Structure 1
Amino acid sequence: MGNWDGLWLSAGYAGVTPLDAVDADFLDGMMNTNVRGPALQLAGPGPRLSKAGSVVITSSTARCWASALADRQVRVNVLLFGPIDTDFRSFMSQDLRAQFEKEILGKVLLGRIGSAGKAIAVALFLHCDDSSYVTGSQYAVDGGLTLP
């Protein structure tokens, strides 16, 4: 059997239950299917993917928590962090960390790693009254890393 040119990971479900009824079993089931499942699906055949192959992972743009809490005027937003100067990469050796940061900085439009303080500033904005009309949104705090 030859290598695969592409792999589409499309397993997932959304449970329908009130937010206050979510328990560990409900969350474990959803996480096992929606997060753990695709990761294990990719781990198995990953080495069989052809060079320059493609992996597509089906995700959701649902803003279910924002919808579930809207009647209480609770706002829910998402922060998508890029490289931020924290201890997150502390498990890497100094050499590997330097190599990683050099490589990632080549892809960040602003050409630098973000400070934790700047990331916190966005979170604080989303908690203050100035953002009282913002919900169900995603904010990329990544120096332009994800910009196409």
Structure 2
Amino acid sequence: MSRFEGKRILITGGTSGMGLAGAQRIVREGGHVAITGLNEERLERARSLLPETSLILKSDAASEADITALQTAISGWGSLDGLWLNAGFAEVGSLESVTADAFNHMMNANVRGPMLQLAVLSDLLNQYASVLVTSSSSVYEGAAMTSLYAATKGAVVAMVKSWASALAERGIRANTLVPGPIETNFRHFMPEESRQQFEDFVVSQVPLGRVGTAEEAAAVALFLLSDDASYVTGSQYAVDGGLVHN
């Protein structure tokens, strides 16, 4: 397959999990990738796994300075045929535990970050490009401990619907990926002692009876980023083993 032959795709949060799996597959299908991340070890590992022609940047979605630097770097790299805004993080806790600092931190990374990233990168998107943003099945699970995280990912869904309308006149599509329990980042934000119990509970609710792989999530992401989805915009695609439909 060569769906991405000669195309340039930027993936934020692309140094691990489904972002990295997607970057590797884009390269195999003839494309060029730029990825961002924060963890130095993961950045180095990504450099060892991707071609030297790839652009690998340390960048924080919550930092306005880093967003400006990202715009500069991509301007020098080339215009984009695809933009996957995948960077973000999660923490869980009771509703009483939410503080103003915690709220601002997560909103800045998960909502303000992709909003400002698209704002500065929009002019670098080619006609008929594709924009994809990662949300989460947490939006629909109604779990008691994920209200702040779910709120940020619910905001993403609303943003993308408006983006689909705003970008349509340029032939640019915008869609949302809604991953459920994916093994490489499955509730990694939880304390180790409670993670297994929570995972067992969530998996018991999944009709397919297992967690998904990074490659399975990336496959759906790449469909939406490719011309195979040329008539798909403003949509949400769940990769969750049936969790939110159960």
Distance 2:213 2:160 in 1: 30
CA change 1:91–1:64 in 2 (3 A) is closer
Distance 1:128 1:102 in 2: 34
TM-score by length of 2: 0.35
Whether 2:228 is the aligned partner of 1:143: answer: no
SS class of match (1:133): coil
After superposition, residues 23-38 of structure 1 pair within 5 angstroms as: none
Whether 2:225 is the aligned partner of 1:110: answer: no
**How far is the alpha carbon of 1:61 from its aligned partner?**
9.2
Distance 1:61 1:20 in 2: 12
Distance 1:127 1:61 in 2: 18
Distance 1:87 1:62 in 2: 23
Q: Alpha-carbon deviations, 1:67-101, whole Å to 9, x = none?
A: 00000010000111111012353343444111111
Whether 2:191 is the aligned partner of 1:101: answer: no
Whether 2:192 is the aligned partner of 1:72: answer: no
Structure 1: gaps spanning 5 or more residues: 1-18, 22-41, 44-56
After superposition, residues 20-99 of structure 1 pair within 5 angstroms as: 20=119, 63-99=161-197
**Runs of 4+ residues deviating >4 angstroms:** 59-62
Q: Which has the higher contact order (CA 8 A, sep 6+)?
A: 1
- State the percentage of identical aligned residues: 54
Distance 2:219 2:160 in 1: 25
Please tell me the root mean square deviation across aligned C-alpha atoms, in Å: 3.1
Structure 2: gaps spanning 5 or more residues: 1-117, 121-146, 149-153
Structure holding more helix per residue:
2
**How far is the alpha carbon of 1:63 from its aligned partner?**
1.5
Whether 2:120 is the aligned partner of 1:120: answer: no
TM-score by length of 1: 0.56
